[in-house]
Structure 1
């Protein structure tokens, strides 16, 4: 299975000012596999250490944070010699030994020649809980579920993936129906590596759903195992409310749908926990579409999305047969799957800041508003081929954007400053925006 982030890892290896690297991401998105694969393809040797329930490593780091002391202990533990230029050190579940995180500062300052990559399923939670952290002494990368392009590559459709990567819209328009069919399958399978690998090997949607249920159960077990006991009931209620929140026509998150009479203050910690560990994405409203969008963020209004479209369908109880039944896929669940899919692909494009817009009376909503640091672009999402978009027209008349995007099941088309982008090409939105604005 090819993950595009491995190219960023190779670039990190080549950096002159390379620092220890932390890979962030939710449980089961493939962090361990990626680190080991990077060690296999880019180094002569690698040493893998899992810090979960590892008393030897806990004792080693408790004694001293001196880099040479730690390296000597790692050599004894692994039975291998650490070559600074040719050995990759892999620290997994590093949040379980907080002093291992702290040691990264000393590797950065005193032993920068060593190559260290780290990951942890609940690392974001650990950092917010006050774990001593080497600020400014580490590099970061984020790993998410497989994108639609990575999914195509995983299921043996590399040629179709390449046409999207090359933005060859003449060709993609010619094979629009093929892309649409694979998109339907991605809506069911999603991007969790285990589900994708099983589907690539067998084509069995039923077992894919069983895998997704196991992943969702594992997440809920994490609530009880790792979260503060006082917020666990609220975590569960908030988590289970997301499909019903997205099923609404107006997808703004409403605390009253979590529990009657619920207030924001009661769920702030639970929401932070779920976003910190990468299970939920929070997209805030902006009141005015101007650069930078962050300056116009409405902290009280937001939408919540899961980390993966396949998990959302599983959680909502949508059968794979229903979803495979032609265009019915794109009208069931009130467009929730489509908006989830688009957000999931946008989050992979780190150069984009993502919000949504409504006017003060909430009579006009733009599903997503993105900025790339230079320009604000409205993104209207349509689950089908119906391109009537009153809200987008209202927005364009009022704000006169240099570029607007309508994402739907229609083929690629450009009309003046409006681009109709097929749903299956959302992966390339950042490049489309940059290329169009430069021209």
Structure 2
């Protein structure tokens, strides 16, 4: 499976940066596989070390001191492999399980930059938020990895030609030929069910059985809940699980702003804030914050108490919502179900493309699903799950801010009219 993270790993290797690379992301997004493939293709050998797999001997190597020369010598002996500067890739997997290994990255950066190190972490944000670990600020390069985006999914499905045709139509804004457009929509609907976890995509391609897909998604959801129990207090675990399980109800509302009383009628923000922070720090969910003004920098105009929460993977939403796969694929699921899947999908693709998530709401009833900065402009994005695209919210936004153009994602083909770029949902990755 081709992953876009490969390009970032290659840039790190050739950039001349002498810092270790910290690769962050939720469990099951493919960090370990991508690191191993990168090492296999670019180095003489790979020394792979998993700090959750060996909680004794491996951890002991980092307890004595943090002198890189000694650590490298003992890691070489432990792994039974030579560690050669510039020619060996050292992978510290699940580094959040060993605080001293994390701290050692500072000393590798300062005193032994000749060693190429990638440290992968699933739950490091949680440990740092709890004040458990110090962080080697300025001593590491950082990259975050997400579930497979739709273009990565197309690569995995062997749809290279279709992918190129989509990119060509996006560049020219000429409609995509019907034969390609219909297939792309069909694959988009499949992706809404399957999502972007590599193991789930692989299972689907091998088995073509949605029951097996759902079983694998159940395993991933249960693994996240197990992490909550393992890495947080019982109180936070219960509340994190409640938030995680009730997200479909949040996203199915007409107004998808996160409301604590959806969890239970007596719920209050102060009771659930830490649990929500846990889910965000674990990269299990995505947050979109309301912007009171569509001006840059958007961070200045954020209303942090008004936000939306999405699953980090749209396939997980399909599974947790109990939506029947065939209803989504045949596009006969309810309007509300289609709407929440499309909105979560767009959020996931925007984050994968590097855009922070914000939405805008007028003092009245107008709401723009997402606003992003492209060049020097704040661009409004409206998401429609079908080809019925009538809406007054874009007009309200345009009258107030006069953007260069607006974007509308729907099932309609590419087009440009009245300063609105119509982009099919399958082409969000092109932004």
Q: Assess if the C-alpha contact under 8 Å between 2:175 and 2:415 holds in 1.
A: no
Matched, 1:39 2:42: no
Q: Which runs of 4+ in 1 moved over 6 A?
A: none
How far 1:230 moved relative to its partner? 2.3
Deviations 1:271-327 (A, max 9, x none): 1000000001010001110011100000110000001011100000011122222x3
Give the Cα separation in 2 of the matches to 1:171 and 1:238.
41
Q: Which residue of 2 aligns with 1:55?
A: 56
CA contact (8 A) 1:410 1:422 kept: yes
Q: Residue 63 of structure 1: SS of its match in structure 2?
A: coil
1:264 aligns with 2:265: no
Please name the residue that 1:404 is paired with.
Answer: 406
Match of 2:9 in 1: 9
1:231 matches 2:232: no
What corresponds to 1:20 in structure 2? 20
1:340 aligns with 2:341: no
* Number of the residue aligned with 1:98: 99
Q: CA deviation at 1:374?
A: 2.0
Deviation at 1:158, TM superposition (A): 1.4
Equivalent residues in 2 for 1:187-198, closer than 5 Å: 187-198=192-203
Equivalents in 2 of 1:394, 1:364: separation in Å?
A: 7
- In 2 relative to 1, CA 285–330 (structure 1 residues): closer, same or farther, beyond 3 Å? same
1:385 match: 387
Given that 1:148 and 1:424 are in contact with CA atoms closer than 8 Å, whether structure 2 keeps it comes out as yes
Shift of 1:173: 4.0
Q: 1:308 aligns with which of 313, 326, 329?
A: 313
Q: Matched residue pairs, number?
A: 426
Query: Offset of 1:148 from its aligned partner?
Result: 0.6
Residues 291 and 373, structure 1, Cα contact 8 Å, conserved in 2: no
Secondary structure, aligned partner of 1:414 = strand
Range that drifts further, 123-132 or 286-295:
123-132
Structure 2 gaps of 5+ residues are none
Paired with 2:251 and 2:286, the residues of 1 have a C-alpha distance of 12
Deviation at 1:69, TM superposition (A): 0.9
User: 2:157, 2:203 → 1: CA distance?
Assistant: 10
Which deviates the most, 52-61 or 274-283? 52-61
Tell me, in whole angstroms, the C-alpha distance in 1 between the residues paired with 2:215 and 2:56.
34
Using the size of structure 1 for normalisation, the TM-score is 0.94
**Counterpart residue number, 1:139:** 141
When the two chains are superposed, the root-mean-square deviation of aligned CA atoms in Å is 1.4
- Mapped contact 1:99–1:132 kept (Cα < 8 A): no
The equivalent position to 1:331 in structure 2, one of 325, 335, 338, is: 335
**Contact 2:174 2:415 (C-alpha < 8 Å) held by counterparts:** no
Deviation at 1:372, TM superposition (A): 3.8
Query: 1:36-435 alignment to 2 at 5 Å?
Result: 36-52=36-52, 53-130=54-131, 131-166=133-168, 167=170, 170=174, 172-174=176-178, 175-325=180-330, 327-329=331-333, 331-333=335-337, 335-350=339-354, 352-361=355-364, 363-372=365-374, 374-429=376-431
Q: So what's the TM-score if we normalise by structure 2?
A: 0.96
Partners of 1:150 and 1:161 in 2: CA distance: 10
User: What do the CA deviations read for 1:177-196 (whole angstroms, capped 9, x no partner)?
Assistant: 11101111111111011110
- The Cα of 1:163 is off from its aligned counterpart by 2.4
Over residues 53-84 of structure 1, what are the superposed CA-to-partner deviations in whole Å (9 max), with x where a residue is unaligned? 43112111010101101101111101111111
Structure 1 unaligned runs (5+)?
430-439
Between the aligned partners of 2:338 and 2:195, the Cα distance in structure 1 is 18
Distance 1:280 1:403, change over 3 A: same
Q: Higher relative CO (CA 8 A, sep ≥ 6), structure 1 or 2? A: 2
Contact 1:356-1:367 within 8 A present in 2 as well: yes
Q: Cα offset for 1:330?
A: 7.2
Q: CA deviation at 1:360?
A: 2.3
SS of 1:328's partner is: coil
